[in-house]
Amino acid sequence: MLDIISKLYGPFFNIENWKLVIESGSDWLVILSLALIECLLSVDNAIVLAAQTKVLPTKEEQEKSLFYGLWGAYVFRFLIIGIGTYLINFWEIKVVGAGYLLYLSLAHFYHIYHPVAKKKKGKGKRLLPLFWSVVVSIELMDIVFSIDSVLASLAISSNPVIVLIGGMIGILCMRGIAEIIIKLMEIIPELEVMAYALIGLIAVKLFISIPMIDIEIPAPLFAGVVLLAIIVTFIVNRVRR
């Protein structure tokens, strides 16, 4: 067991490896490329994060949940990169993640048309306080969404230190995107409906990427769908006003 752990995570604790990466200009070009890929692949993650944190009552709690989620994402990314070569066998995680996202989307629209049911749900007991349940949800989604990012990164560079640095920069950028979406939701309420509709689409996107179906929607294409959805939502908001 110790030998396996050493093989998986040993490169992270190799000082010479870190020194070579930091001093190499070519490695930094790869790192920046990985950070860009991370941002492209994490557009859907940012949407989910924004929608999840929106349920918290105050802006302070929303920002705090993203902060905790950021550090949790770094820890999980470190662990996942270490077992990156085996992630392809964990397609079940994608199925569970897709089911959870679909539940989030359908539950949101159900409560829109059944507000009384939503009120009753609020009186029920929670296993965790609302804030910590949101943080846990953020971490679970980080695990699911990081699979694609790590596999794409390892295809570009086999050095786990390069993948880790690129992933950290990308995660930080993705959290910034999530905060922008949260602020836009406050100005344009229709964005929340759009976000949950996209979450349903993301669930389908995640499910069809499992090996048995093996249909991948290119990140640039999905980013275009997100951009189009935002433009349509802006138009709807202006027409209503």
Reduce the secondary structure of the chain to three states and give it as a string.
CHHHHHHHHHHHHCHHHHHHHHHCHHHHHHHHHHHHHHHHHCHHHHHHHHHHHCCCCCHHHHHHHHHHHHHHHHHHHHHHHHCHHHHHHCHHHHHHHHHHHHHHHHHHHHHHHCHHHHHHHHHCCCCCCHHHHHHHHHHHHHHHHHHHHHHHHHHHCCCHHHHHHHHHHHHHHHHHHHHHHHHHHHHCCHHHHHHHHHHHHHHHHHHCCCCCCCCCCCHHHHHHHHHHHHHHHHHHHHHHC
* 13 in a structural domain: no
pTM of the model: 0.61
* 14 in a structural domain: no
* 19 in a structural domain: no
What average pLDDT does this structure show over 185-212? Answer: 83
Q: According to the model, what pLDDT value does residue 125 have? A: 62
Q: According to the model, what pLDDT value does residue 119 have? A: 47
For 132-188, the pLDDT digits (tens) are 888 888 888 777 777 666 766 666 676 778 888 887 887 777 777 777 777 777 788
Q: According to the model, what pLDDT value does residue 84 have? A: 64
Domain range for residue 132?
A: 27-236
* 17 in a structural domain: no
* 21 in a structural domain: no
Total domains in the fold of the chain: 1
For 32-91, the pLDDT digits (tens) are 777 766 665 566 677 777 777 888 888 888 888 888 887 887 787 777 777 765 555 567
Q: According to the model, what pLDDT value does residue 161 have? A: 82
Q: According to the model, what pLDDT value does residue 239 have? A: 92
